[in-house]
Amino acid sequence: MNYKRRIKWIVTPYIESQYRELLFYNTINAEFADLYLGIEYTILGEILTIVHYDFLSLFRTLNERLPTNDNESYLGQSQAEN
Q: Does residue 75 lie within any of the structural domains? A: no
Of all residues in the chain, what percent carry a pLDDT higher than 90?
Answer: 5
Contact 41, 15 (CB under 8 A): yes
Give the DSSP per-residue string, 21-71: HHHHH----GGGGGGGTT-SSHHHHHHHHHHHHHHHHHHHHHHHTSTT--S
Q: Does residue 19 lie within any of the structural domains? A: yes
Q: Does residue 31 lie within any of the structural domains? A: yes
Q: Which residue has the higher pLDDT, 48 or 1?
A: 48
Weakest-pLDDT range from 45-49, 53-57, 68-72? 68-72
The total of structural domains in the chain comes to: 1
Residues spanned by the domain of 39: 3-66
The structure's pTM equals: 0.65
Q: Is 72 exposed, middle or buried (0-12, 13-18, 19+ CB in 10 A)?
A: exposed
Q: What is the pLDDT of residue 76?
A: 53
Q: Which residue has the higher pLDDT, 82 or 54?
A: 54
